[in-house]
Amino acid sequence: MRGKNPQISVVIPSYKPGSIFTECLHSVVTQRIDVPYEVIVVDSSPKPIGSQFSSQFPQVQFVHLDRRALPGKARSIGAQMAKGDVVCFIDTDCIADPEWLKWLWEAQSQGYSVAGGSVLNGTPKSVIGTAEYLLEFNEFNPLAPARNVRALPSCNLSVHQQIFKRVGYFPDFMKGEDTIFCERVYALGESIRFVPQARILHMNRTGFSHFIKNQVALGEGAVECRRRTQRPGAFLTRMPPLLPLLPLYRTLAISRRLLGSDLKLFIRFIFLYPFIFLGLISHAWGFIRGPYRSKLSTEIRNS
């Protein structure tokens, strides 16, 4: 995978990575691609993780930050260090398909400056994990068609270096930084391509309280995205009386996407709807309360 002149750089933001981090790294360093690439882990855990994993993965560059960094900032630091013309991003709770990089590189070679792939459910036996998956990644399930989109999740994303020079790097938010970045790219008239064959497996939260907390944070990120960009639904930030309808609106939108791509996922969506509805309500609450916070509630405050 390594070469003196890597054409691709894979950046992985890290903070106290979980139990599948070894599988994540192994999946990234064993990609089936002839193009030389490098792997950079930008870690801000209290204790550097490089000493724990560098012997097993000597081809990976571990960078430790003195203070905790949000994922957007960690990705930006990694992108600035990257030697490759194309920077690909994956998260520590994900496992890449063996041909993940090949498909992203192919999209970049076809002229797409930003591309990303599909997200598979890594917790299919968990009710909560599947509910979170359906809420967060329904639009990017592996049976969804290849198409141009307005935004992609940063857990499966590739960006040409020239794009960073034009729009800058990721904003320093806990949730929604990838959407804001992609909206800035979209506003320049650049095409953003969804490539379903570039697959990653995402391990979702399986604890109920963590699920609810994450949905609230996603709601706060969603309203911030719409305050800063022309993201669809921006009118809701100017019409608070309509916000109680947000769960219904999202229910219809998710149903339409799943019916058009994966009928089995739609059936699971129906069966799990009581849990999904709680997630929708939590997301709406985050959307409602977000503008009234002195800062984004998900920003790290240094004491």
Residue 299 included in any domain: no
Q: Is the pLDDT of residue 300 over 50?
A: no
Residue 181 included in any domain: yes
Residue 3 included in any domain: no
Residue 1 included in any domain: no
How many domains is the chain partitioned into structurally?
1
Residue 2 included in any domain: no
CATH number at residue 42: 3.90.550.10
Q: Provide the residue range defining the domain that includes 171.
A: 8-292
Q: Is the pLDDT of residue 46 over 90?
A: yes
Residue 283 included in any domain: yes
pLDDT at position 302:
39
pLDDT at position 195:
98
pLDDT at position 303:
30
pLDDT at position 172:
83
pLDDT tens sequence across 237-290: 677 777 788 899 999 999 999 999 999 999 999 999 999 999 999 999 998 887
Residue 36 included in any domain: yes
pLDDT at position 136:
96
* Mean pLDDT over the full length of the chain: 91
The total of other beta-carbon atoms located within 10 Å of residue 169's CB is: 18
Residue 253 included in any domain: yes
